[in-house]
């Protein structure tokens, strides 16, 4: 089976597009000799185009810096990939499981054009901790599919909320240097997390003019993604992705969406990466 790392997912997460490779996902290494134990580093740059906030109908373009580091020992690894740190503690190849830390970037009022949403103020960045599990299946002829779940809880006291993401990813080697990828995902969030991002308290209503809204636990978003990964040589590669997400339940019913926003959330990202 094609061996995958996580650059693609990290690109998607930083882009705010949520999952391309919620294939739980992962940047691609083309098929070739089995990867050796030890350290691997990647450095790159690109750009992304995403909504100003989750639920916005207006978009922004931002630069996309990229840095990753991974230490591998057999089937086990520890990996830092931009917004997160994870470790696979299981040997056996096709199944991975272990702890994960992710950085939730929050919401910055200065990035938002909508005056009502901007008056709600910032949501601070948060550290999310939890576990992940992933099962990969080799389909043969350079193709593979992954099934994954990741459960995270805010441990920094910003929202104290919990999310769970379920995803399926498909990868296929199209040529010797080009890989195609597609993914689908669904994200659930508890009441605390949903209220922080979609709710409007009485005090916030007075400040913003938005109606009071109490968010509930439920499905937050469903998303589909697709992308291409091209390897120029052993060191240089490029990655591009496009995604479409649909907000659900309280995330879609929030006045941040119904009053001038959109349930439809798209995303684009592109980066060039060098391996060291």
Report the CATH number that the domain containing residue 130 is assigned in CATH: 2.40.160.40
Per-residue confidence (pLDDT) for residue 6, from 0 to 100: 39
Q: Long-range contacts for 189-192 (Cβ within 8 Å, ≥24 apart)?
A: 189/161, 189/162, 189/163, 189/164, 189/217, 189/218, 189/220, 189/251, 190/161, 190/162, 190/163, 190/217, 191/161, 191/215, 191/216, 191/217, 192/154, 192/159, 192/160, 192/161, 192/162
Domain count, the chain: 1
* Host domain of residue 18: 7-275
Per-residue confidence (pLDDT) for residue 35, from 0 to 100: 59
Which strand (E) or helix (H) includes residue 41?
strand 38-51
CB neighbour class for 61 (10 Å; exposed up to 12, middle 13-18, buried from 19):
exposed
Per-residue confidence (pLDDT) for residue 82, from 0 to 100: 74
Share of the chain above pLDDT 90, in %: 80
Residue 176 resides in a domain: yes
Per-residue confidence (pLDDT) for residue 61, from 0 to 100: 95
Distances in whole angstroms, Cα of residue 254 to Cα of each of 76, 108, 113, 223: 42, 18, 18, 19
Q: What is the DSSP string of 89-116?
A: ---SSSEEEEEEEEEE--B-GGG---HH
Low-confidence residues of the chain, pLDDT below 50?
Answer: 1-33
Residue 2 resides in a domain: no
């Amino acid at each position: 089976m094609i061996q995958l790392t996580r650059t693609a997912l990290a690109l998607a997460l930083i882009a705010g597009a949520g999952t391309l490779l919620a294939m739980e996902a992962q940047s691609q290494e083309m098929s070739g000799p089995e990867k050796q134990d030890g350290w691997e580093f990647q450095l790159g740059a690109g750009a992304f185009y995403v909504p100003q906030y989750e639920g916005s109908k207006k978009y922004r373009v931002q630069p996309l810096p990229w840095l990753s580091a991974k230490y591998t020992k057999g089937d086990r690894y520890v990996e830092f990939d931009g917004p997160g740190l994870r470790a696979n503690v299981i040997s056996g190849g096709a199944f991975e499981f272990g702890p994960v830390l992710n950085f939730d970037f929050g919401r910055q009022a200065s990035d938002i054009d909508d005056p009502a949403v901007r008056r709600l103020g910032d949501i601070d960045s948060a550290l999310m901790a939890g576990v992940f599990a992933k099962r990969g299946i080799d389909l043969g002829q350079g193709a593979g599919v992954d099934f994954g779940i990741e459960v995270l809880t805010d441990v920094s006291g910003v929202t104290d909320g919990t999310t769970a993401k379920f995803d399926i990813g498909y990868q296929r080697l199209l040529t010797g240097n080009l890989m195609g990828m597609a993914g689908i995902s669904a994200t659930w969030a508890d009441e605390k997390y949903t209220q922080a991002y979609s709710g409007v308290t009485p005090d916030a209503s007075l400040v913003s003019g938005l109606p009071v809204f109490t968010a509930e636990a439920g499905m937050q978003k469903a998303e589909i993604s697709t992308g291409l990964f091209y390897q120029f040589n052993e060191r240089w590669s490029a990655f591009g992705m496009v995604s479409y997400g649909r907000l659900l339940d309280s995330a879609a019913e929030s006045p941040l969406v119904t009053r001038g926003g959109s349930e439809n959330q798209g995303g684009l990202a592109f980066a060039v990466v060098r391996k060291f």
